[in-house]
Amino acid sequence: MLQKGLVQIYTGHGKGKTTAAFGLAVRAAGDDNKVLIYQFLKPKSLDLSERRAIEKSGLNITVDAMDIEWNMIKSLRDKAVKAQTAAVIKEALGKLIELAAAKSYNVIILDEIVFCVNQGLADISDIRRLIDSRDPAVEIVMTGRDAGDELIALADLVSEIKAVKHPFEKGICARKGIEY
C-alpha cells in the first residue's frame, strides 16, 4: 500500500496517455492497492477494450465513466452540450474529491481530465481541491492533451508523450483492441 501519494500527469499529443495510466493501474493493483479509473469524455456507452480487460482481470480496479454522450468534434462546438457536460464533470469531480479525502481508493486516475481543464469543461480549482483535500496516501493520476502551466505546477511527475509518427497519417483508422 502507498505511504505517500503523489500527483502524476500524462500529457502530450502522442498516443499512449490512457494506456500508460491503465498500465499504472494494473501495477498498483498488483501490489494490493485499490484503484479507481474515472474516464471523462468517454461515455459508458463506448465499448472500450481496456474497460473489458479490467472487468475480466479480477483485479481490484474499478472503471467508471461519465454517463453523457460526447463527440470530440461536434460537442466542442455546441454551447449547450458543453454547458451540460461541464455540469456533469463538476458533479463527478465533487464525488471524486470525497472519495480521495476518505481514502476509498489508493490510486485515482482521471482519464482525459487535462483536456477537460484546457477546454473549459472542468475548473482547475476543483482539481486543486481534489489534490489538497485527498488523504496524503492517495495517488492522483491525470491524463489528457495540453497540460497548462498551472496544472503542471500541481504535479509531482509530468510525462509528455510526443507524436513522432502515427498510422492515422497513412489513413489507417483506429483499431479495436489496439487504439480503443
Q: Could you report the per-residue pLDDT of 125-175, keeping only the tens digit for each?
A: 999 999 999 999 999 999 999 999 999 999 999 999 998 998 778 888 888
Q: How many angstroms separate the Cα of 150 from the Cα of each of 31, 128, 138, 155, 164?
A: 32, 10, 21, 9, 26
- In this prediction, residue 1 carries a pLDDT of 74
- Contact (Cβ atoms closer than 8 angstroms) between residue 55 and residue 129: no
Report DSSP state, residue 159: E
Point out the least confidently predicted range of 84-88, 161-165, 175-179: 175-179
End-to-end alpha-carbon separation of the chain, Å? 30
Q: Which residue has the cell 496524503?
A: 136
Tell me yes or no: is domain 7-170 CATH 3.40.50.2300.
no
* Closest CA relative to residue 36, chosen from 62, 17, 10: 62
pTM score = 0.93
Mean pLDDT on 36-44: 95
Instruction: Report the C-alpha gap between 44 and 29 in whole angstroms.
Output: 22
